[in-house]
Amino acid sequence: DQQVKQNSPSLSVQEGRISILNCDYTNSMFDYFLWYKKYPAEGPTFLISISSIKDKNEDGRFTVFLNKSAKHLSLHIVPSQPGDSAVYFCAASGPTTYTGANSKLTFGKGITLSVRP
């Protein structure tokens, strides 16, 4: 049962253009969403997150959009740079409780972004 889905395994964009990475989830208990970037032979690096009480969060070139009714989130990278070429993982956690118990962090299978110079 794949609760977080990244349906496109790869994406190729031209340098300077927008990259849009999509992610869908099925578990309505998720209330915190994150994007990670991963280079080969390294651990994932946190990029940006969004709480379910928001629909948009922006950090420099990175913006995450959350559509709760559609159970869909997306990461926009503008402008895309060659150094952005990596695997991007969408992740979700929840429910967030005071004690932190009964939660888990669920990842999508990742999408490989290639930015062409």
Nearer to other proteins (CB atom), residue 15 or residue 106: 106
Q: How far apart are CA 84 and CA 70, in angstroms?
A: 27
* H or E element that contains 92: strand 86-94
Nearer to other proteins (CB atom), residue 28 or residue 45: 45
Distance in Å, CB of 38 to other proteins, minimum: 9
Distance in Å, CB of 105 to other proteins, minimum: 5
Residue numbers at the binding site for other proteins (CB under 8 A): 32, 34, 36, 41-46, 49, 89, 91, 93-94, 96, 99-110
Nearer to other proteins (CB atom), residue 78 or residue 105: 105
Q: Which residue matches tokens 């989130």?
A: 73
Distance in Å, CB of 44 to other proteins, minimum: 5
Q: How far apart are CA 42 and CA 27, in angstroms?
A: 29
Contact 21, 90 (CB under 8 A): yes
Q: How far apart are CA 49 and CA 112, in angstroms?
A: 19
Cα–Cα distance list, 95 to 27, 29, 30 (Å):
10, 5, 6
Distance in Å, CB of 10 to other proteins, minimum: 14
Nearer to other proteins (CB atom), residue 22 or residue 103: 103
